[in-house]
């Protein structure tokens, strides 16, 4: 290959992926490391990359301590009940006590936050959500990151982390390639903050053909937050905690603002309220601690999202679909109608397009809802991600190894989707996690922990060979056949992605099996996954763009494999509505009130699973 | 709703290629104009549509569920700090919306942290981030700790 090798040496902090987590990291790193060399490597263009590319209509994590609205421990309580007890409360508490300062800065930077005209406080959509005109949210935070970084490398697909050869289990930078020029980029760095994205499209999407990219989470979120970390040998947690979302059918438009602010509600196909009739049966399955509608009514403690999904899925399976969102009442108010439309124009334009295309005006017709395929992510309402150290003043010994948000690999930090056990961080929380990781990374370097890092030319050259292998493979074999994409010696990234999605769907609890799996299915799936990984050694990429898809697929595969192992390990159905273990349908607090932790040995590919204690900081709210 | 590019309006400037988060807007080597090379990896994020100086990029609903005949057009005006939307339904009805995108001129209100006074040793050893604790409550309120919140760690209790 004739691509150039470009080496950026002596970096102090490398930020891989500059969505909300990465931008927060780059911004804050400059304050604590004014003399440090800070570099960003971003797969797309930092101005419109990550999950917030098209904007957001709400900041979903804001305490409002300034207005006397909530304290950090309230948020811990909320996230804990939503995730059926399984969260890292130290990390959540830490994020929650800092998140308001990030939001207040966004407003100073020019992000239009709506205000309640009576109180002067930010306009609430729900207890944790504030409403914004957020179309330009990402360009605004990107400017903050660009002003802090020494250089931003756009269009770099980071494929691997570099490992230090003088000390085991220490990071030394990252490598990747430019998706436009094809050039090989080497970043030698003392510390690395991974702010890459979670995983969309590892499960078969509901749409087909052209619409196969019409998913809820961005199609470019390829699980690099997990692929990079797992391959480096970092411990992971909560990877079984995939999320299924109730969304407007085919548009994947969020329903949160509709429920919370517009006060819309759902009905089954017969025009009936259906959720509550599933509670008695479900209470048998999960226990009263997690589902007590009376307490929920009294304290406004929400019923966990997955359990509401369970009612939705069960009602549809009982033949009483479709489920409708009742918008016709709220939309008679012109102000609420405008809010309803702008909610999507500012962040999910496709929903508005779908309504326009199908002549659905929610003022005159109640739109259909559906449940999505599962996603694997750590910043929205689930907590997949790396097993990270917490802050020194909060975390118990099992959760603390010196540097906040540092993974189990030295010098390797996480933010956003990369950090496990911190659901309900969303955009502002991810930005805040980036800030926390950056301060800790600066301290790690100042403490002399990154001294003597060594990266040999061999490691760099071996990785180069591995990265470009799909293009070499294509060059060698494509002329064996006349033309077309059918070749006995290789598959292309799209074919590989289709295979991964089918496999995950059928064996790991996707849409077509109503989110159901069991031990036997998981074992078969893992076996097929191994064969797929062998075939991915023969993946072929026709050009640099396809090479990007090839590496996205490899990161998705590694993420999916981890999901399989975690789902197999937790022998209970902790989150009915997200997935079901048919052979262990009941929630089992006796054995599983624990966090799951895995590690893949980078040399052998073997997974080791363990249980970690689940610590609680705050009591119940009733 | 994958994007497509009108042949007569595109001049191949590459703004869409520069901004696309999914790397799917490319310049066609024959026509020297942009096009969407991979519609099923398009997220209808409208980044390219907003970036196009000639309004040459449009979208149409995904073929597997959206009928033809609709449009959602956008005009993002950085100088005025607004974004305008025109939605045309398949049956001809129209809706128009206008929202602010920023309350302050671009490029002037975000601090360059290399120029602000650096943190002292106490701040480094504390749990505080830049601008804290003032920015948490926009007053002198301090940071939360387990102690100030009256909290204790407990292992494995069921909630």
User: pLDDT of A186-207, one tens digit each?
Assistant: 999 999 999 999 999 999 999 9
Q: What is the pLDDT of residue A222?
A: 98
Please report whether residue A275 resides in a domain: yes
pLDDT digits (tens, 9 = 90+) for A406-426: 999 999 999 999 999 999 999
A351 and A409 inside one domain = no
CA distance B148 to chain A (A): 11
A248 and A235 inside one domain = no
Please report whether residue A593 resides in a domain: no
Does A605 lie at the interface with B, CB-CB under 8 angstroms? no
Predicted confidence (pLDDT) at residue A621 exceeds the cutoff of 70: no
Predicted confidence (pLDDT) at residue A133 exceeds the cutoff of 90: yes
Average pLDDT taken over every residue of chain A: 96
β-pairing verdict for A580-581 and A594-600: unpaired
Section A454-461 average pLDDT: 98
Q: What is the pLDDT of residue A618?
A: 86
Closest CB from B70, B97, B116 relative to A345:
B97
- Interface confidence, given as ipTM, is 0.96
Please report whether residue A51 resides in a domain: yes
The pLDDT confidence band at residue B149, using thresholds 50, 70 and 90, is confident
Give the relative orientation of helices A137-148 and A20-32 as an angle to the nearest 10 degrees. Answer: 30
Verify whether the Cβ–Cβ distance A357 to B69 is below 8 Å: yes
- In Å, how far are A535, A571, A578 from A526, measured between CA atoms? 14, 16, 20
Do residues B109 and A109 touch, judged by C-beta distance below 8 A?
Answer: yes
Predicted confidence (pLDDT) at residue A381 exceeds the cutoff of 80: yes
Closest CB from A341, A358, A393 relative to B127:
A393
A75 and A181 inside one domain = yes
Rg (CA), chain B: 24
Predicted confidence (pLDDT) at residue B153 exceeds the cutoff of 90: no
Q: What is the pLDDT of residue A575?
A: 98
The rounded distance, in Å, linking the Cα atoms of A90 and A99 is 14
Instruction: Count, in order, helices (H) and strands (E) of chain A.
Output: 17, 20
Predicted confidence (pLDDT) at residue B154 exceeds the cutoff of 90: no
Section A590-602 average pLDDT: 97
Print the domain residue range for A249: 244-374
| CATH number of the domain to which A437 belongs | 3.50.50.60
CA distance A556 to chain B (A): 15
- In Å, how far are A204, A420, A595, A618, B155 from A89, measured between CA atoms? 32, 11, 11, 9, 11
A79 and A165 inside one domain = yes
Please report whether residue A305 resides in a domain: yes
Q: What is the pLDDT of residue A1?
A: 61
Section A322-344 average pLDDT: 94
Cβ neighbours of B153 in A, within 8 Å: 396, 615-617
The rounded distance, in Å, linking the Cα atoms of A466 and A425 is 35
Higher pLDDT, B143 or A479: A479
Section A478-502 average pLDDT: 96
The rounded distance, in Å, linking the Cα atoms of A392 and A399 is 9
| CATH number of the domain to which A497 belongs | 1.20.58.100
Comparing alpha-carbon positions, the chain A residue that sits nearest to B138 is A66
Verify whether the Cβ–Cβ distance A357 to B90 is below 8 Å: yes
Share of chain A above pLDDT 70, in %: 100
The rounded distance, in Å, linking the Cα atoms of A29 and A38 is 7
A382 and A359 inside one domain = no
Active site residue B43: yes
Q: What is the pLDDT of residue A439?
A: 98
Provide the number of CB pairs (under 8 Å) joining chain A to chain B.
280
What tokens does A444 get?
């790690």
Q: What is the pLDDT of residue A318?
A: 97
Domain boundary among the residues A374, A409, A429 is at: A374
Does A620 lie at the interface with B, CB-CB under 8 angstroms? yes
Q: What is the pLDDT of residue A407?
A: 98
pLDDT digits (tens, 9 = 90+) for A346-377: 999 999 999 999 999 999 999 999 999 999 99
A28 and A139 inside one domain = yes
pTM summary value:
0.98
- Angle made by CA atoms A614, A520, A513, in degrees to the nearest 5: 85
A45 and A153 inside one domain = yes
Does B67 lie at the interface with A, CB-CB under 8 angstroms? yes
A210 and A163 inside one domain = yes
Section A490-496 average pLDDT: 97
Section A482-501 average pLDDT: 96
Closest CB from A27, A100, A342 relative to B136:
A100
pLDDT digits (tens, 9 = 90+) for B37-80: 999 999 999 999 999 999 999 999 898 999 999 999 999 999 99
CA distance A618 to chain B (A): 6
| CATH number of the domain to which A256 belongs | 3.90.700.10
Predicted confidence (pLDDT) at residue A20 exceeds the cutoff of 60: yes
Share of chain B above pLDDT 70, in %: 98
pLDDT digits (tens, 9 = 90+) for B63-74: 899 999 999 999
The rounded distance, in Å, linking the Cα atoms of A445 and A423 is 28
The pLDDT confidence band at residue B142, using thresholds 50, 70 and 90, is confident
Please report whether residue A556 resides in a domain: yes
Q: A20's torsion region: left (phi>0), alpha (psi -120 to 50) or beta?
A: alpha
- Beta pairing partners, A607: A600
Q: What is the pLDDT of residue B112?
A: 96
Residue among A66, A616, A617 with most chain B CBs within 10 A, to mutate? A616
Sign, Cα dihedral of A603, A501, A499, A493? negative
Name the active-site residue from B6, B43, B62, B135.
Answer: B43
Does A439 lie at the interface with B, CB-CB under 8 angstroms? yes
Predicted confidence (pLDDT) at residue B139 exceeds the cutoff of 80: no
The pLDDT confidence band at residue A293, using thresholds 50, 70 and 90, is confident
SS3 for A559-615 is: HHHHHHHHHHHCCCCCCCCCCEECCCCCCCHHHHCEEEEEEECCCCCCEEEEEEECE
> Which A residues 260-289 touch B at CB under 8 Å?
289
Please report whether residue A457 resides in a domain: no
Verify whether the Cβ–Cβ distance B129 to A28 is below 8 Å: yes
A216 and A354 inside one domain = no
Cβ neighbours of A95 in B, within 8 Å: none
The pLDDT confidence band at residue A256, using thresholds 50, 70 and 90, is confident
Contacts 24+ apart (CB under 8 A), B106-109: B106/A110, B106/A143, B106/B78, B107/A143, B109/A108, B109/A109, B109/A110
Verify whether the Cβ–Cβ distance A65 to B141 is below 8 Å: yes
A24 and A161 inside one domain = yes
Section A118-122 average pLDDT: 90
Higher pLDDT, A507 or B140: A507
- Number of domains into which chain A is organized: 3
Cβ neighbours of B57 in A, within 8 Å: none
Please report whether residue A8 resides in a domain: no
The rounded distance, in Å, linking the Cα atoms of A84 and A93 is 17
Section A195-220 average pLDDT: 94
A275 and A230 inside one domain = no
A251 and A138 inside one domain = no
Predicted confidence (pLDDT) at residue A620 exceeds the cutoff of 80: no
Q: What is the pLDDT of residue A301?
A: 80
Give the DSSP letter of residue A299. H
Predicted confidence (pLDDT) at residue B141 exceeds the cutoff of 80: no
pLDDT digits (tens, 9 = 90+) for A393-408: 999 999 999 999 999 9
Verify whether the Cβ–Cβ distance A213 to B42 is below 8 Å: yes
Please report whether residue A135 resides in a domain: yes
Q: What is the pLDDT of residue A260?
A: 86
């Amino acid at each position: 290959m004739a691509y150039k090798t470009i080496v950026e040496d002596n970096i102090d902090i490398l930020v891989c992926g500059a969505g909300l987590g990465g931008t927060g990291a780059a911004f804050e790193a400059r304050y604590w490391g004014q003399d440090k060399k800070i570099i960003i490597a971003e797969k797309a263009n930092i101005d419109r990359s990550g999950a917030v590319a098209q904007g957001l209509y709400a900041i979903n994590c804001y305490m409002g301590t300034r207005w006397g609205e909530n304290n950090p421990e309230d948020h811990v309580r909320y996230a804990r009940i939503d995730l059926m007890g399984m969260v890292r409360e130290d990390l959540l508490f830490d994020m929650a006590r800092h998140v308001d300062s990030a939001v207040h800065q966004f407003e100073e930077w020019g992000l239009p936050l709506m205000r309640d005209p009576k109180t002067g406080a930010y306009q609430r959509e729900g207890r944790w959500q504030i409403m914004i005109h957020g179309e330009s949210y990402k360009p605004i935070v990107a400017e903050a990151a660009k002003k802090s970084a020494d250089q931003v490398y756009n269009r770099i697909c980071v494929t691997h982390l570099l490992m230090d050869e003088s000390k085991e289990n220490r990071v030394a930078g990252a490598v990747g390639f430019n998706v436009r020029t094809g050039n090989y980029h080497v970043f030698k760095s003392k510390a690395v903050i991974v702010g890459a994205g979670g995983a969309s499209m590892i499960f078969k999407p509901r749409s087909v053909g052209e619409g196969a990219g019409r998913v809820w989470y961005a199609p470019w979120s390829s699980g690099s937050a997990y692929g990079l970390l797992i391959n480096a040998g970092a411990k992971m947690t909560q990877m079984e905690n995939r999320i299924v979302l109730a969304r407007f059918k085919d548009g994947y438009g969020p329903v949160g603002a509709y429920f919370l602010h517009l006060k819309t509600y759902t009905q089954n196909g017969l025009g009936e309220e259906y959720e509550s009739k599933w509670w008695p049966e479900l209470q048998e399955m999960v226990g009263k601690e997690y589902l007590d509608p009376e307490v929920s009514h009294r304290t406004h403690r929400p019923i966990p999202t997955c359990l509401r999904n369970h009612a939705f899925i069960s009602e549809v399976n009982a033949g009483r679909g479709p489920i409708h969102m009742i918008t016709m009442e709220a939309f008679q108010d012109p102000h609420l109608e405008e809010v309803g439309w702008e909610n999507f124009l500012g962040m999910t334009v496709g929903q508005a397009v779908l309504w326009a295309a199908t002549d659905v005006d929610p003022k005159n017709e109640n739109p259909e809802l559906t449940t999505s395929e599962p996603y694997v992510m750590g910043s929205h309402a689930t907590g997949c991600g790396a097993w990270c150290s917490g802050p020194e003043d909060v975390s118990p010994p099992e959760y603390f190894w010196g540097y906040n948000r540092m993974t189990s690999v030295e010098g390797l930090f996480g933010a956003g989707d990369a950090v496990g056990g911190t659901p309900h961080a969303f955009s502002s929380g991810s930005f805040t996690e980036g800030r926390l990781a950056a301060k800790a990374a600066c301290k790690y370097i100042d403490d002399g922990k990154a001294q003597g890092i060594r990266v040999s030319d061999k490691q760099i050259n071996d990785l180069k060979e591995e990265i470009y292998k799909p293009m070499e493979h294509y060059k060698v074999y494509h002329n064996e056949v006349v033309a077309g994409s059918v070749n006995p010696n290789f598959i292309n990234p799209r074919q590989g992605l289709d295979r991964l999605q089918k496999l995950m769907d059928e064996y790991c609890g996707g849409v077509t099996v109503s989110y159901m799996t069991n031990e036997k299915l998981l074992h078969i799936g893992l076996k097929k996954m191994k064969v797929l990984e062998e075939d991915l050694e023969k993946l072929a990429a026709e050009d640099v763009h396809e090479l990007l898809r090839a590496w996205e697929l490899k990161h998705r595969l590694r993420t999916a494999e981890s999901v399989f192992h975690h789902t197999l390990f937790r022998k209970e159905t902790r989150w009915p509505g997200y997935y079901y273990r048919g052979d262990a349908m009941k929630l089992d607090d006796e054995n599983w009130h624990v966090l799951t932790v895995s590690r893949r040995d980078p040399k052998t590919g073997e997974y080791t699973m363990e249980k970690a204690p689940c610590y609680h900081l705050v009591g119940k709210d009733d | 709703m994958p994007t497509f590019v009108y042949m007569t309006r595109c001049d191949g400037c590459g703004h869409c290629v520069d901004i696309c988060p999914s790397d799917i807007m490319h310049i066609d080597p024959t026509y020297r104009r942009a096009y969407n090379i991979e519609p099923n990896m398009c997220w209808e994020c409208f980044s390219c549509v907003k970036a196009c100086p000639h309004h040459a990029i449009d979208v149409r609903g995904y073929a597997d569920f959206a009928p033809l005949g609709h449009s959602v057009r956008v005009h993002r005006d950085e100088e005025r700090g607004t974004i305008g939307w025109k939605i045309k339904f398949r049956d001809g009805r129209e809706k128009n919306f206008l929202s602010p995108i920023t309350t302050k001129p671009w490029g002037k209100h975000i601090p360059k942290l290399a120029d602000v006074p650096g943190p002292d040793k106490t701040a480094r050893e504390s749990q505080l981030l830049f601008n804290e604790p003032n920015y948490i409550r926009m007053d002198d309120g301090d940071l939360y700790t387990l102690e100030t919140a009256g909290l204790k760690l407990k292992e494995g209790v069921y909630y």
